[in-house]
Structure 1
């Protein structure tokens, strides 16, 4: 069975390094959720899993209400931690330490943000939990409400999508894709 991966709704930190920061969904984000719910009408969703961060839980709770399902919160579905860069714009990051910012750009994904999560640890965390969800939901359609970085890991590591295509597919708030047995469906 396919998992439906859904990006959370927008917050006031859109365009910033949000990571583990926990802002609420704003008015535009609430409208995105309403549009998402209209798009999902007629879908079959038997289970919902969500990151524990507020923006994902808000999105998952709305889906859960529409489908009569209580979402299951999994902290492992969190976005990567950006450490000292949480809630900063790129311009603010460059102002703080232009040399490190330049190194990070050149060495990503091998160099973490200062005090942030290493990408290989993030990727391992995501792949472990997603593979567990695929195994446990083998017979039931489920939604996974999470973050763009999480979805990019799934797209690139499990679905064989290029980095560029993964960025494009995860750009939209409340956007989604289905993945089953290592391919997009």
Structure 2
């Protein structure tokens, strides 16, 4: 089974803004990037996407049939959504920075919570599509979570997986 993990392209948010589950648009122009991504993916695929606009725009470019699933959404950053990281008081973000795996963002989620919902999605989709080629159009946190699972990497080391905007990562199960 081939699975293509695709991260959305760059968003309109300026660098330093926390925008996990906020529904932000893509930075234009992006069609050349979409075409480059499409060229890296076989034509006969099933496309799943996060329901957030920055992913569905790309997913619909890749396929006429897209299955959206909220379990593919980025980490929920709660009170920090759409704030500049530098504007979040150190006392608020320090516990999370020291243990992002287990500590939830205020009114948001922890990385382990993200990982649990992503694992639920991943196991379901793999069991239902074991002979198909699948594309997941999603976010860096989700992709890092999946890469931890398939490589037996501890969640605390998730950021050792570099996931650029527009990245296409092929895994074979």
Number of equivalences? 169
Note the residue ranges of structure 1 that are not aligned, 5 or more in a row: none
- Equivalent positions of 1:92-171 (< 5 A) are 92-93=87-88, 97-161=89-153, 163-166=158-161, 168=162, 170=163
Deviations 1:154-179 (A, max 9, x none): 0012223553431x1x1x11101122
Contact 1:159 1:179 in 2 (8 A): no
Q: RMSD of the alignment, in Å?
A: 1.7
Gaps of 5+ in 2: none
CA distance in 1, matches of 2:148, 2:72: 16
Give the CA deviation at 1:107.
Answer: 2.3
**TM-score, normalization by structure 2:** 0.89
Cα 1:142/1:174, change in 2 over 3 Å: same
Aligned pairs (5 A) from 1:12-27? 12-13=12-13, 15=15, 16-27=17-28
| Match in the other structure for 1:89 | 84
Note if 1:47 corresponds to 2:46.
yes
Match in the other structure for 1:8: 8
For residues 78-132 of structure 1, what are the alpha-carbon distances to aligned partners after superposition, in whole Å with 9 as ceiling and x for unaligned? 1110001112221122xxx221222221122221111111322211100010111
